[in-house]
Amino acid sequence: MFSQTLTARTDSIARHLETIFLFTQNDIRTTLIPVTIFALSAAPRYDPIHALNAPLWIWLHLLQFNLANQIQDPEEDRKNKPSRPIPAGRISVDSAADMRWVMVPVCLMLSLWYGTQALLASTVFAVFNIWYNELHGDKMGLSKNVLTAIIYGCAEVGGTVAAGSCNSRMDKVGALAVALSSAVFATTLHAQDFKDEEGDRLTGRCTLPTIFPKAARFSMMLGIPLWSFVLSHIWKLDALSTTAFVAYGAYVGTRFVMYDTVGADKQSCKFYSMWFALSHLLPGYWRFFYGV
């Protein structure tokens, strides 16, 4: 009897944990991994003992964002993303909404442990998260890119501070890295929207690919290799690394123009995610070869 009860409770706990994970599953590759790479590269005083603090801080804030985002339009998710926890029937909208507001103080208290900068990043993150979702930022076209870039930048600041040694603070190099990363994200974020263009048109969702389909694709072909060159110059990559990074950026950007099927856009998005993750390593390159 006891073993059956224990098994049932264990299964229940496992299901709840899986449900929580599913809120963030789709953003592991596009957000958690790149931002963690960035945090470990940009941390002014990297401490291997604190390395796991960065993904923990980032994931909890990602969960806060996704809970707020996924309770906004469950009907749309039932059509386009039925595997998410709410349309899949794993959790109700009301319960997810309760979790959303619980996560705000949880993230703030965690951030307080890491110091003033992490707490400030968490506070700004929470404010813009509310602004984004209450204004339905995913339906605001260009504004979505700007708001998301600000939220993304806050995640990078908090993750970078959490990845450092005790009482670590963001320095000028880290601040520059966050500013550049946010600018890159704001101007290339729509790379993730091409694969959902057809569904977005049907649901009335405004993204750059649905508003300016041709211009959005050409912006990829021009923007990604241009950013590759600019970042290589700022972070002082050697000639071989610069050539390889720019060439890969040109390949990724050109794909969005040459191949416009849903399958091709999904593949291009994966290549873009790899390029974006590589760009997050560059502050670490500079610190290793030129930092004091």
Q: What is the pLDDT of residue 256?
A: 93
Distance CA 279, CA 182 (A): 12
Q: What is the pLDDT of residue 48?
A: 72
Q: In the numeric block, which tokens belong to residue 82?
A: 């039925």
Q: What is the pLDDT of residue 147?
A: 84
Distance CA 135, CA 255 (A): 33
Structural domains of the chain sorted by starting position, each given as residue range(s) with its CATH number in brackets:
21-289 (1.10.600)
The DSSP 8-state label assigned to residue 90 in this structure reads S
- Amino acid occupying residue 17: L
| Chain mean position to CA 9 | 33
Whether 62 and 159 have beta carbons less than 8 Å apart is answered as no
Query: What pTM does this model have?
Result: 0.83
- Residue 195's closest CA among 286, 120, 269, 111? 269
Distance CA 61, CA 148 (A): 13
| Cβ neighbours, 10 Å, residue 243 | 12
| Residues belonging to the chain | 292
User: HEC string of 52-76?
Assistant: CHHHHHHHHHHHHHHHHHHCCCHHH
Q: What is the pLDDT of residue 190?
A: 86
Q: In the numeric block, which tokens belong to residue 155?
A: 């995640």
Distance CA 217, CA 212 (A): 9
Q: What is the pLDDT of residue 156?
A: 93
Whether 114 and 162 have beta carbons less than 8 Å apart is answered as yes
What are the per-10-residue average pLDDT scores of the chain (292 residues)?
55 78 85 89 75 90 92 75 82 89 94 90 92 64 75 92 74 91 90 75 71 88 96 96 97 93 89 92 90 66
